[in-house]
Structures are given as structure tokens and as C-alpha cells.
Structure 1
């Protein structure tokens, strides 16, 4: 069993040190606290390593998507509609 420091984990995952601490705090990355430092089992990196970086893309709201599609079929741009016909 190989233990890694939070700095080593940050480098391996390609994230910042505060992000590693957040993963530990949120319980998504198990860690052992020894003194004031946290250590992570190398095998536990797989729990968070498969995630894509960044925020997940949100899906458009169904009403907005339907309105945009309807306006596109009418030849109208959404920006023109938002302006109130000005």
C-alpha cells in the first residue's frame, strides 16, 4: 500500500491543492490524517481520476429549447425577440 501526499495527488490528478482538500472534505476521496497532513492511498485515486475536468455542461431547459427551435423555424433570432421588437 503506497500512500501519497496531497501535493502528489494534486499533480497526478492535474488539479489544484485546494481541489484535493475539497475532495477529501466532501468524502469523495478517502484520506488518512496523520498529524496535520492527509495521506491518500494510491489505489483510491481511481475513485476520482476518471472524471473529466471542469464543470459538466448543463442541458438547456425544455421550454427554452422548444422556443429557440420554433423561432429558428420562423427565421427569427432569439436576440431580436429578447429586445422586445426594438
Structure 2
């Protein structure tokens, strides 16, 4: 245990990080399993696409808000990602 876990830590950290990011940005599953009253931010973007037009400014602002947590996580754990992938 003293040898295996320290060597496996970077790989486990990368697996955790990438799993979180892929789950955070999953659109199809969230759109299928949620209803109108319980939506994620990414599925809420579909409200701004209508038959009369698209509110590009609001959609861009919400899209940036959905990217902020992933960017924060990546910036904090960037060294673990590099160590786990090499």
C-alpha cells in the first residue's frame, strides 16, 4: 500500500477531474432526465432558441457561466493532470 497508492494518485486524480468535467458538460442526459422546473444551466440554454429568433447575448453569457467552474477546477489541478497523463 505504501508504494501503490502514491504511484496511482496522479492517474486517479486525472480520472476524477475528467469524469467531473464530462459530467458537468453532459447535455443529452440532463435534457432527457430533467423537466422544466428542475433544469441545469446547460439545458436552460435551449429556452433562448425560439422560432422567432435567438437571444445570442444571453446565451453567450450563460455559456460563459457554465464554463467558469470547469476552468477553476482545471486551473487548480493542472499539475495533477500533467503528472497523470505523462
On whether the aligned pair clears a TM of 0.5, the verdict is no
**Would you tell me which structure has more strand in proportion to its own residues?**
1
Larger Rg: 1
Greater RCO structure (CA 8 Å; 6+ sep): 2
TM-score, length-scaled by structure 2: 0.28
**Would you tell me which structure has more helix in proportion to its own residues?**
2
